[in-house]
Amino acid sequence: MIAPPLLLQALRYPEQLGSLGLADWDILIRQARKANLLASLHARLQECGLRKTLPAQPREHLDWAHALAERHRLAVHQEVTLIQQALAATGVPVILLKGAAYVMAQLPNARGRLFSDIDILVPKERLDEVEAALMLHGWAASHHDAYDQRYYRTWMHELPPMQHIRRMTVIDVHHAIVPETAAVHPDPAKLRAAACPITGQVSLLTLAPADMVLHSAVHLLHDGELENGLRDLVDLDALLRHFGDEPAFWLRLTERAEALDLTRPLFYALRYTSMMLHTSIPPDTLAQAARLGQPGNAMLALMDALFLRALLPEHASCRDMLSGISRKMLYVRANWLRMPPLLLARHLFHKACISPKSAD
């Protein structure tokens, strides 16, 4: 493999960027923009006090990204407030997932993180109530095709995405963190029981720290669309650094992985954060995660070859001959993990031959 891309070096040791030349900055800014990490890089450079000392041109690009991220942060706060108001009458506890959770709980990886949808988790038996309340407040189902409706409602772990008719914002209402049809079954009741209220917020919760890490891991490693793969890996890195200050966290993490049937994703998550971003993880935890979740040697070699390529920024400067095929194979793998083979064949057949084509 080629030398690690500048972006990885920058995320590992941002404090070393003070000596970078302009030509390297040119490449680094482009890699970071492509990976949707430019504003996160701004946040890291701000934290280590380097932003002000940078050459004017790259600093300008980082500031542009920061302006966009600030606007985004405000918009997320506003949107979450509106969702809360829409659901208040139902009394359903709302657990925020992923990006919205990081922003509202003010976790370190929220700084500069851009995302498009708000994800929430509610009990499955209350989905109808939640959907009705959202519809009353202006959110409408976005997938009108009868097959798509059934795909989501029968097999998936979420309702079809709902879009607000005026603000055009999208909410994904989940009742579980993996599809009903997947081979692993992390019990949503356990996740909900351990959820933590967000300080200063009424009726808003996030997953417990260990569960949040495991959800982030399962999302990254079971999702075939890896355009934001590196950003999601950076999430994991930041969450591990943040929660890892509390020594009890690491033991809890492996225990929860077992309880939730997520030992394999945890193993990969710890492996690739430490390999790519040099996240410091206690050796005991690494050993325990390997005991619980390491696949056979051949499979591991294959996954390494695929993930270590596919998680790099999708930029020309980070590409080798196998990058394209690695992404395609992981896409196939993700679908494989989502559904048993026969159902998958049926789904792909329907999508290819029967579903109306979207206008392109």
Partner 1 sequence: MKVSDLNPAQLQQRLQEAGLRIRTGPFVTRVHTSLAAAAEGIGLLYADYPLAEDEDFADFHIRLALPDGLRRWLRPQVLFLYDGTRTFKPLPVDQAFPMFEWGMNWCVSSHAHSYLIIHAAVLEKHGHAVILPAPPGSGKSTLCAALSQRGWRLLSDELALIRVADGCVIPLPRPISLKNASIDIMRHYAPDAVFSRKVSDTMKGTVAHMQAPADSVARASEWARPGWVIFPRYEAGADTHLTALPKAHAFMRAADNAFNYSLLGERGFASLAGLIEASSCHDFVYSKLDEAIDVFNNLRPAALLP
Interacting residue ranges for partner 1, rule: CB under 8 A: 22-23, 25-26, 30, 33-34, 55, 57-58, 60-61, 63-64, 67-68, 70-71, 74, 315-316
Among residues 45 and 159, whose Cβ is nearest to partner 1? 45
Least separation in angstroms between CB 70 and partner 1: 7
Question: To the nearest whole angstrom, how small is the minimum distance from the Cβ of residue 3 to partner 1?
Answer: 20
Q: Which is nearer to partner 1, 42 or 98 (CB)?
A: 42
Task: State residue 53 phi and psi, 5-degree precision.
Answer: -90, 0
CB of residue 66 to partner 1, shortest distance in Å: 8
For the record, the structure tokens of 117 come out as 């949808």
Distance, CA of 345 to CA of 312 (rounded, Å): 30
Minimum Å gap between C-beta 315 and partner 1 is 7
Residue 107 CB, shortest distance to partner 1, in Å, is 22
Nearer to partner 1 by C-beta: 34 or 219?
Answer: 34
Across the beta sheet with 170-174, the strand order is 139-141, 162-164, 170-174, 117-121, 94-97, 204-206, 196-197
Measured from the CB atom, the residue of 34 and 327 that comes closer to partner 1 is 34
Please give the Cα distance from 248 to 91 (Å, whole number). 33
User: What is the nearest approach in angstroms of partner 1 to the Cβ of residue 37?
Assistant: 14
CB of 33 vs partner 1, minimal distance in Å = 7
Provide, rounded to whole angstroms, the least separation between the CB of residue 30 and partner 1. Answer: 5
Alpha-carbon separation of residue 113 from 5, 101, 197, 297 (angstroms): 20, 12, 22, 35
Task: Using the minimum distance from each CB to partner 1, give the nearer residue, 315 or 350.
Answer: 315
Of the pair 186, 313, the CB lying nearest partner 1 is at 313
CA 310 to chain centre: 15
Distances (CA, A) of 41 to 62, 110, 346: 7, 12, 43
Nearer Cβ to partner 1 (68/287): 68
Minimum CB distance to partner 1, residue 29 (Å): 8
Q: How far is the CB of 172 from partner 1 (least distance, A)?
A: 24
Q: Which is nearer to partner 1, 60 or 246 (by Cβ)?
A: 60
Burial of 87 (0-12, 13-18, 19+ CB in 10 A): buried
**Closer residue to partner 1 (CB): 65 or 198:** 65
> Is 245 or 360 the residue whose CB approaches partner 1 more closely?
360
